[in-house]
Chain A
Amino acid sequence: MTAFLAIGTQKGLFLATSDDDRRSWQVSPAHFPGRAIYSVAFDIRGPAPRILTGVDSSHFGPSVAVSDDLGTTWQEPDTAPLAFPPDAGAAVERVWQIAPAGPDQPGVVYAGTQPSALWRSVDGGRTYELVRGLWDHPHRPDWGAGYGGQAVHSILTHPTDPERLLVAMSTGGVYRTTDGGATWAPANQGIKAYFLPDPWPEFGQCVHKVARDGADPEHLYAQNHHGVYRSTDGGDSWQSIADTLPSDFGFPIVAHPSRGGTVWNFPLVSDGERQPVDLLCRVFRSTDAGATWSPQSEGLPGGRYYPVVLRDAMCTDNAATAGVYFGTRSGEVFASRDEGESWSTVAAHLPDVLCVRAVQV
């Protein structure tokens, strides 16, 4: 077994590999040096892992590149892989998320962009078409932007029903479709939007990230712009699970790949004070679906710690004993091969880490 860890940063994509069950890692030089990597994904449905990445040049715009040889070569289409049709009156600014669909839909890959839009590829992620049902939603003029921009950043396919999709956007919140993307409805009941006059709106929440439970696909977790939530009904309603966390603010939330109820996040003090609670580098884990949380920090830096973990800069891999990974805006990347019980440093002194994804094959 080889483990692969893709690290997207503000100035390039780094690929780390481990051949000793994730004890040690070899980190590549930067692919796409100088370009921002806001999204990366492994597609392991085919005979060899495919890497897909959103490559963002501040001068020359966004693109998606694909590699079938673990980064030795990259392919991009001649024409833009994602392009709004002329009547949309918009242009893709950034690719925030790339999400391969399930094994029952070979070749299908979804992407989320800034401005907030969902895209569908049927050629393995090389080229994409706009999902009109979401773009044409009557709520769209009222979707706003957070500090990072206005984007669809979370895309959850359903493990048994290809017609069901869930996306989350900042701002706007959670939307779902049950007909393959033709129609969409908001699913934010119980998620608070403290920054709006009505803090319990139908939509408009600033959901930072949504994760699906590893065992029960109707169980979901959401890290909100203040607020951490669980849904046990596929998103029909949400309940707070922040009571035993030191803070309800943060960006990432990730679930164990197969064990139900196990979830991690990285709490920050608040919207106005975006740094780790007590200035400690700690991940928090729950093994009871958010009822209780415990810090995990063995092997992480001691002393005062200021860097933050962005929404896609934490992930798990697909191993039975899950690996957990996160990167910081100070360019450090940490890995745990024992579900967060202990940590080691994969890389340091990289550019700001924007996203990480890991897989064992």
Chain B
Amino acid sequence: MPTVLVPGVLRTETGGASRLEVAGGGSLRAVLDELAERWPRLERRIRDESGVLRRYVNVYVDGEDCRRSGGLETPVPPGAEIQVLPSVAGGCG
């Protein structure tokens, strides 16, 4: 099963869990849709309500930035690791 790695700053939204096992469904979109069902507080930090990945959130599938590998249609094979990380370009000066 694919695993979602949750950054420390978002673990308040998962009851403290750092790794979430998901059924997957073959694509990053399916993984995020599953998060929306099972951990909605987490998913709404990653995507806005129109389904777009938030500008300053980066998602890597097996180490590849999804924005360079198909976006939400990036394939997620069984056993993949999906890492969610806040972008260094975000934050506030």
Contact = CB atoms under 8 A, between A and B. Distances in A.
Interface of A: 10-11, 34, 36, 57-61, 76, 78-80, 83-84, 86, 89-92
B49 A60 contact: no
Contacts of B86: 59-60
B10 interface: yes
A78 B49 contact: no
Contact of B50 (A11, A57, A79, A90): A90
B48 A61 contact: yes
A97 to B, nearest CB: 19
B56 A58 contact: yes
A118 B43 CA distance: 24
A61 B44 contact: yes
Contacts, number: 48
B91 interface: yes
A308 B45 CA distance: 32
A78 B87 CA distance: 23
Nearest to B39: A78
Contacts of A83: 49
Interface size class of B (residues with CB under 8 A): 10 to 19
Nearest to B48: A91
A60 B45 contact: yes
Interface in B2-17: 9-10
A78 B48 contact: no
A34 B45 contact: no
A141 to B, nearest CB: 18
Contacts of A79: 40, 44
A61 to B, nearest CB: 6
Interface in B25-43: 40-41
B41 A84 contact: no
Given A36-B92, A78-B40, A84 B49 contact: yes
A83 B44 CA distance: 10
A91 B54 CA distance: 10
A61 B91 CA distance: 11
B57 interface: yes
Contact of A59 (B40, B44, B49, B91): B91
B87 A89 contact: no
Contact of A34 (B46, B49, B50, B92): B92
B40 A84 contact: no
A218 B41 CA distance: 43
